[in-house]
Amino acid sequence: MAAPETDFVVAEEDTAIPPAEPVALSRGRIVLRRFRRRRLAVAGLVILLFMFALAFIGPHLNSWGYKDKDYENFLTGPSATHWFGTTQIGSDVYAQTLRGLQKSLVIGLLAAVLSTGVAGVVGATAGYFGGWADRVLMWCVDLLLVLPSFLILAITSPLFHGRTWLLFVILLAAFNWMVTARMVRGLARSLREREFVTAAEVMGVHPLRIITRHLLPNMASLLIIDATLNVGGTIIAETSLSYFGFGVQPPDVSLGTIIADGTDSAMSFPWLFYPAGLMLILTVMAVAFIGDGLRDAMDDAAGTASGSGAGAGS
C-alpha cells in the first residue's frame, strides 16, 4: 500500500508546480481545456471519429462491396453474412450504407471547408474595402434570401449528371457561403478600425496581405466554428438533394439515396431504412455538438460572431 501512496504524493506535487510558476497557457491549450469540459461536445467528437472510422475502415470488415450483388438473397433481414440485410436486388445494405456514409462525410467536409474559405476571403474583402465590393456582396446575400440554395442546386443538377462528384461539391459550396460572408464582413469592418491594421497600412503593407495576415487570422475562431457547423448543413443539403436524385448519382450511393430507396419499404423491411437514417442523424448531431462546444470554448470571438449574425437581416 505504501508505494501507490508515495506515487500519489509525487503526482500531487507535479500538478502543484504550474500555479507556483504562472506560465501563460497558450490559446490552443485554453480552448482545448474548455472544450474538454463540455461533455456533449466531447461525445460529439467521439461519435464523429467513430463515424469516420466506420466509413473508412468498416467496409474492409465485411467481404461484400457496395456494388456486389448476392443473387441468392433478396430482401433478407440482417444475418451473419449480410450484417444489415440485403435489398430488393441483392445488394448488401451494410456495404452500401457505409459507402453512403463515406460519400456524405467527404462531400460534407469538403464543401463546408470550401464554402467557409470562400466566405472568409469574400467577406473580408468586402468588409475591408467597403464601397462597391461591399454592395455587390450584400446583393448576393439578399438574392440568396429570395432564392433558396436548394432550388438553385436542384435546377442546376442536370449540369453535373455524369460528371465527377467534385463538381457537386463545388456547387454545394458555391451557394452556401453568402450568410457566413456577411458575418465575416461585419467582423472585418470592426477589425479594420483597430490599431494593428492602421499600423500595417501606414507601413505600406499591401491590402491583400493585410487581409490574409491580419484580418483572417483574427477571425480564425469564427471561421473554425462556422466550418464545423457548415459540415452539418452541407451534409443535410447533400442528402436532401440526393434524396430526390439531384445529388449523388447511381451507381454511387449517398445516405440520401439509400434513405430514398428504403422509404417505401421502411415499414416492412426496416433494415433498408433505419441504419442509414440513424447514421445521418448521429453524424449531423455530433457535428452540431462539436460546433456548439467550440463556440463556447472560443468564447471571446464567438460573442461578436453571434451578435453580427443576429443583426444581419435588416
Span 270-289, contacts to another protein by CB under 8 A:
273, 277, 280-281, 284-285, 288-289
- As a whole number of angstroms, the distance between CA 72 and CA 18 comes to 66
Task: Please answer whether residues 64 and 85 qualify as being in contact, where contact means their C-beta atoms are separated by less than 8 angstroms.
Answer: no
Task: Please answer whether residues 247 and 255 qualify as being in contact, where contact means their C-beta atoms are separated by less than 8 angstroms.
Answer: no
Q: Does 312 bind another protein (CB under 8 A)?
A: yes
> Phi and psi (nearest 5°) for 253?
-125, 155
C-beta closer to another protein: residue 107 or 288:
288
Out of 236, 265, 301, 304, the only residue in the binding site for another protein (CB under 8 A) is: 236
String of b and e for 10-42 (b: at least 16 CB within 10 Å)? Answer: eeeeeeeeeeeeeeeeeeeeebeebbeebeebe
- As a whole number of angstroms, the distance between CA 278 and CA 286 comes to 12
The region of 59-67, 80-88, 183-191, 265-273 touching another protein under the rule CB under 8 A is 265-273
Q: Does 240 bind another protein (CB under 8 A)?
A: yes
**Concatenated DSSP letters for 123-192?**
HHHHHHH-HHHHHHHHHHHHHHHHS-HHHHHHHHGGGGTTS-HHHHHHHHHHTTSHHHHHHHHHHHHHHH
Shortest separation between residue 137's beta carbon and another protein, angstroms: 15
Shortest separation between residue 216's beta carbon and another protein, angstroms: 26
255 Cβ neighbours under 8 A, 6+ residues apart: 97, 100, 101, 103, 104, 239, 242, 276, 279, 280
Q: Does 300 bind another protein (CB under 8 A)?
A: no
Q: Does 136 bind another protein (CB under 8 A)?
A: no
Q: Does 205 bind another protein (CB under 8 A)?
A: no
Span 44-83, contacts to another protein by CB under 8 A:
none
Q: Count of residues binding another protein (CB under 8 A)?
A: 45
Q: Does 147 bind another protein (CB under 8 A)?
A: yes
Out of 28, 158, 217, 250, the only residue in the binding site for another protein (CB under 8 A) is: 158
Out of 10, 20, 23, 267, the only residue in the binding site for another protein (CB under 8 A) is: 267
Q: Does 164 bind another protein (CB under 8 A)?
A: no
Residues near another protein (CB under 8 A) are 142-152, 154-159, 232, 236, 239-240, 243-246, 256, 259-260, 263, 266-267, 273, 277, 280-281, 284-285, 288-289, 306, 310-314
